[in-house]
Amino acid sequence: MTKSRVIEIEPLTRVEGHGKVTVHLDAQNRVSEARLHIVEFRGFERFIQGRLFWEVPVIVQRLCGICPVSHHLAAAKAMDKIVGVDILPPTAEKMRRLMHYGQILQSHVLHFFHLSSPDLLFGFDAEPERRNIFEVIRKHPELAKQAILLRKFGQEVIEATSGKKIHGTSAIPGGINKNLSLAERDHLLANHGQFLEWCRAAVTLAKSYVIEHQHLVKRFAHFPSNHMSLIREDGALDLYHGKLRATDAAGQIIFDQVDTDHFNDYLMEEVKPWSYMKFPFIKRLGNVDGWYRVGPLSRLNNAAFLDTPLARDAHLEFRELTQGSPNHSSLNYHYARMIEVLHCCEKVHELLLDPDLQGSDLRSSGTRREEGIAVIEAPRGSLIHHYRVNENDQVTFCNLIVSTTHNNTAMNRAVTDVAQRYLDGQPDITEAMLNHIEVAVRAYDPCLSCATHALGQMPLQVELVDADGTCIQRKSQYIDEDTYGL
Amino acid sequence: MSETLASTFTIQVDGQTVTVQAGQSIMEACDAAGIYIPRLCDCEGLVPQGSCRVCCVDINGRIQAACTQPAAPGQVIGNETPTLNAHRRTLVEMLFHEGNHLCPICEASGRCELQAMAYRLGITQASPYPYLQPVRPVDASHPDIALDNNRCILCGRCIRASRDIDQKHVFDYVGRGIHKRIGVSAARLAETDASLEDEAIARGTCPVGCILRKREGFDTPVGQRLFDRRPIDLDNAVQHHIPTQAVPAHIESDPP
Ligand code: SF4
Ligand code: SF4
């Protein structure tokens, strides 16, 4: 056959939300490009218009069932600006930080153990029936138990700080509506030593994976890119607040210590007709070269150091892997994620011992402003919330750039890279090949419902498309359309 | 018969004997006796209007609103009966159908009487009927007060409080039937003389999240909101009561 083809994969399992991948083949059956599509859109930014600004932190977290805290806090930070508050009372900021560390901890643990460990433990080629969390529970019961309890710990931190395990309401414009009671504190401190041990073990596990699979790690969706993240003034990793830093593939600064209020001067978003997800890029470098990655890998590339003792050492070891230059391997996201888990666990401990959390000065006020911009490092990367509020307290404008959107080009690169390597010139599509594509996407822990700001969830598939744009084969990972007559 | 004896009598409520002061409604007599009759439009300190029908009880076989029906000697009343609670459940469900109630994002959540009543009556899932899902504009024109009509249940508590207590008459019903809604006495709330000091604007006068005191939303942590600790019952249902000294003499109920 001389015609080019497109392969579709759906649903991409074990990513948060759903989407679709199309693999475009040329006339010689070689992969020319692969695209990650987002297929549903319910326009959250429109829904929020006209709503009252203090409702926003509560409304916006409904975008996502996995990292609602990040949206809750990003919106609250933007609303701090609206009510004219630049510096929160220490109790409020520390409660929010505690919530955030608990959130990143539980989200990363969920991703690593529940979603990715089947691929890592059993291999990407393993039969689909084995590549799931139930098999992990059967084969590695101790690991599974640790994952479940660590995640529960993260959720308990969230509950104690936000009022609920999911979709809490505590971060309010200018502050927080509760402090941490001594009983709550003591409950969270009770098993902390154990949790810290497990986090250390998780770092060791992730590290030995990348070392044992060096060959694969260096080959699989490994490509140079720019990296962006928040950074503290002294260059330390800061997941809750800071200024923006972007570095290039060689680790050189593109911009640094950029006030998040001015993000628009540095970043732009491009729309492509085949995806609802926008493609952000660094303005100065243009839409071809300006794409960048965000998330754990980028944060650890950008950070000069981590400010907790165990994670600081782990970060140094991570940097040694690439002799101090930026790490560009998609699979190293997993390793970076576990270092952040350790960092968050240490941060939680530090905060729990801080008497400020029992303070009673919970809220500040200032002079009203019309515009509020906030950036937070969500589990998956930088999350930007931008609002305008009128004199009647109603939202008139909202733009959200979520982590998965920042990683849009990178995910497309990763998918193309893997498709070229594993599908190219092959006569037929195998389960294992398709799963390689999924693994590449999954490394970015994409949250597709967030990325399109849909309020629900979306299905995802892989299609094979020929040079005329005709879909000639459509395949779902675990649902065979022929078998089920879909 | 002495004066005292003549002014009291007894009725039976769910098999319990309740002593009534002459002139009391069934609701007042039951409140005084510690018996809770579910309600939405009634609020201590306001003239009862019997419009939500949630307080309907069975009086000697006839179903009538307890808030407006005077207690009378010899009444045998059913209150917490399966039939009545089924009717109440339907009434409350219909309120959810008529408005646009997204509890998870509503600042009244946890202190909202409609939500609490739904929990009390065991409404845990959507009913099979279609939801009207109106999209009514929010009136946020007033500097301190916002009105989100999507959540109004037309209980009229704001109307009575504004008219009878605040003596301002800021609110009233406009429209009929399914189009009936709460209007204000000007084009927008900002042009009325509504203020935060009004009883009509006090937190708790509006049983739901329609009349909002601006910038106070979500200031109470989950777990400490009115209905977080216990379901709606006699104590917290009348927690918001308008002090009687604020009620002008002409609307106090006259003894018969
Ligand atoms: S007013 Fe009450 S029932 Fe309606 S959305 Fe708000 S909390 Fe829910
Ligand atoms: S605005 Fe509130 S108090 Fe007034 S009728 Fe509607 S629900 Fe009742």
Please tell me what DSSP assigns to residue B161.
I
Q: Which tokens is A229 given?
A: 């993240």
Partner-chain residue, chosen from A55, A163, A164, that has the shortest CB–CB distance to B217:
A55
What residues contact B112, with CB distance under 8 A and at least 6 apart? B103, B106, B207, B208, B209, B227
CA distance A454 to A43: 6
Give the chain B residue nearest A174 (alpha carbons). B215
CA distance A105 to A109: 6
- List alpha helices for B121-206, DSSP H: 157-160
What kind and span of H or E run contains A121?
Answer: helix A117-122
Phi, psi of A57 (to 5 degrees): -60, -30
CA distance A1 to A473: 14
Determine how many CB atoms are found less than 10 A away from the CB of residue B10: 14
Q: Which ligand is nearest to the CA of B159?
A: 2
Smallest CA separation from ligand 2 atom 6, residue: B152
Q: Which ligand is nearest to the CA of B104?
A: 1
Q: Do B138 and A54 touch (CB under 8 A)?
A: no
| Residue to test with chain B: of A51, A52, A95, A396, most B Cβ within 10 A | A52
CB-CB neighbors (< 8 A) of A57 in chain B: 218
As a residue count, chain A comes to 486
Q: Do B212 and A52 touch (CB under 8 A)?
A: yes
Q: Which ligand is nearest to the CA of B209?
A: 1
pLDDT digits (tens, 9 = 90+) for A41-84: 446 777 889 999 999 999 988 776 567 899 999 999 999 999 99
Smallest CA separation from ligand 2 atom 4, residue: B158
pLDDT digits (tens, 9 = 90+) for A130-170: 777 777 777 888 888 899 999 999 999 999 999 988 888 99
Statement: residue A112 has pLDDT above 90:
no
Give the chain A residue nearest B107 (alpha carbons). A55
**CA of B205 relative to ligand 1 center, distance in Å:** 14
| Residues 172-191 of chain A whose Cβ lies under 8 A from any Cβ of chain B | 172-173, 177-178
Give the chain B residue nearest A58 (alpha carbons). B105
Domains located in chain B, CATH noted:
3-80 (3.10.20.740), 88-213 (3.30.70.20)
What residues contact A377, with CB distance under 8 A and at least 6 apart? A229, A230, A238, A239, A240, A299, A383
Partner-chain residue, chosen from A59, A178, A392, that has the shortest CB–CB distance to B105:
A59
pLDDT digits (tens, 9 = 90+) for A76-109: 999 999 999 999 999 999 999 999 999 999 999 9
What pTM was estimated for this model as a whole?
A: 0.89
Q: Which tokens is B159 given?
A: 């109307």
Q: Pick one of 1.10.645.10, 2.40.100.10, 1.20.140.10, 3.30.70.3040 as the CATH number of A78-370.
A: 1.10.645.10
According to CATH, where is 1.10.645.10 located in chain A?
Answer: 78-370
Q: How confident is the model at residue A360 (pLDDT cuts 50, 70, 90)?
A: very high
Output the CA torsion A107→A113→A118→A120 (10° steps).
100
**CA of A392 relative to ligand 2 center, distance in Å:** 21
The tens place of each residue's pLDDT in chain B, 256 residues long, gives 444 556 899 999 999 999 999 999 999 999 999 999 999 999 988 999 999 999 999 999 999 999 999 999 999 999 999 999 999 999 999 999 999 999 989 999 999 999 999 999 999 877 788 888 888 989 999 999 999 999 999 999 999 999 999 999 999 999 998 889 999 999 999 999 999 999 999 999 999 999 999 999 999 999 999 898 888 988 776 656 665 545 444 444 433 3
CA distance A284 to A268: 9
CA distance A460 to A415: 14
